[in-house]
Amino acid sequence: MSIPHDAPGVPSSRPALTLKTLRRMASSGEPFACLTCYDATTARWLEAAGIHVLLVGDTAAEVVLGFPSTVHMPLDVAIALTAGVKRGAPNSVVMGDMPFMSYQADDAEALRNAGRFVTEGLADVVKLEADASFAPLVEKMARAGVPVCAHVGSKPQSVGLTGGYASAGRTADAAERVIEDAVTLERAGAVMLLVEAVPEEVTRGILERTSVPLIGIGAGPAPHGQILVLQDLIGMTHWQPGFAQPIAQIGPEIQRAVEGWIERVKDRTSTDHRYLMKRGESAKLKSPASE
């Protein structure tokens, strides 16, 4: 059965959004919306809603694969999920998130892995958690033609150093380091920045000293774009950070639907559909008693 092109849950007919679109929106003061996404079916719905950017985040390690932190995200899985999201939302900007140890150990390996996100993963931009020390790598990626979003501020892949998730930039010295990280990484060639879990003063400092689009998460209302984990937004996680209050409760709705399905199966009312044998064929069947 064919699906009408304008039906809900299929890619919209809007023009394809690009990094140029995001730069234009940022320069004109028009905010753009971003969400994480990990599969083609959900991506179709998000694009139909008008989303601008989809991040195939390493949070998939937690919300898809069930690991306790993002550092467990397998590279090959991340690339495959990124491609699926782009196929589901071909007119959105899709960002691939480079997992832990896919870019930290060796620049040549990092370049190859970033290239895989673009070629196999169909990503429009590749994100990596970074500070100023990663500027030479970002420069190499830019020279190779890989669009980079540099993630500064709180960096979940570094929770092993801090003993848990923590905000960043809460002292003057720490704030200046985060701002300088952003400035340095833009100069190295990053086409976009993402800042996580910082005071608004840090966000304003980055905006004042950089020119590329800035995405925020827990960084106040000032960034050009805002991003959340989809499962946090729609009430599918049991705990959300303070900056990610849900605006829907899809989790309980799923539970109720499944409870209803279980009851229908129990009552043998799961479906009214019947496949019928062709006329006269039923009489030809041999009964067990005749054998």
Cβ atoms of 186 and 153 closer than 8 Å: no
Q: How confident is the model at residue 241 (pLDDT cuts 50, 70, 90)?
A: confident
In this predicted structure, the answer to whether residue 11 has a pLDDT above a threshold of 60 is no
User: Quick one: which H or E segment has residue 196?
Assistant: strand 192-196
Global pTM value? 0.91
Q: Over 70: is that where the pLDDT of 91 sits? A: yes
Residue 172 is predicted with a pLDDT of 98
Residue 6 in this model has a pLDDT that exceeds 50: no
pLDDT of residue 1: 40
List residues bridging with 149 in a β-sheet.
127, 192
196 is catalytic: yes
**Is residue 133's pLDDT more than 70?**
yes
Residue 286 has pLDDT above 90, yes or no: no
Average predicted confidence (pLDDT) for the chain: 93
- Annotated active-site residue in 120, 129, 196, 281: 196
* In contact, 51 and 89? CB cutoff 8 Å: yes
Residue matched to tokens 């390493």: 58
Under a CB-based contact definition with an 8 Å cutoff, are residues 232 and 246 in contact?
yes
Q: Which residues on adjacent β-strands are paired with residue 226?
A: 33, 216
Percentages (nearest 5) of helix, strand, coil residues in the chain: 45, 15, 45
**Residues with Cβ < 8 Å from 248, sequence gap 6 or more?**
233, 234, 235
Q: Locate 127 and state its tokens.
A: 């994100």
When pLDDT is averaged across residues 33-46 and rounded to a whole number, the result is 98
Over pLDDT 70: what percentage of the chain?
A: 94
273 class by beta-carbon count within 10 Å (0-12 exposed, 13-18 middle, 19+ buried): exposed
Percentage of residues of the chain with pLDDT beyond 90: 84
Mean pLDDT of 131-143: 98
| Cβ atoms of residues 56 and 93 within 8 Å | no
Place of tokens 């937690």: 62
248-280 per-position pLDDT tens digit: 999 999 999 999 999 999 999 988 888 999 999
Domain 19-233 annotated CATH 3.20.20.60: yes
Every domain of the chain and the residues it spans: 19-233
Q: How many angstroms separate the CA atoms of 109 and 121, rounded? A: 16
pLDDT tens readout for residues 197-207: 999 999 999 99
Output the pLDDT for position 40. 98
Residue 188 has pLDDT above 60, yes or no: yes
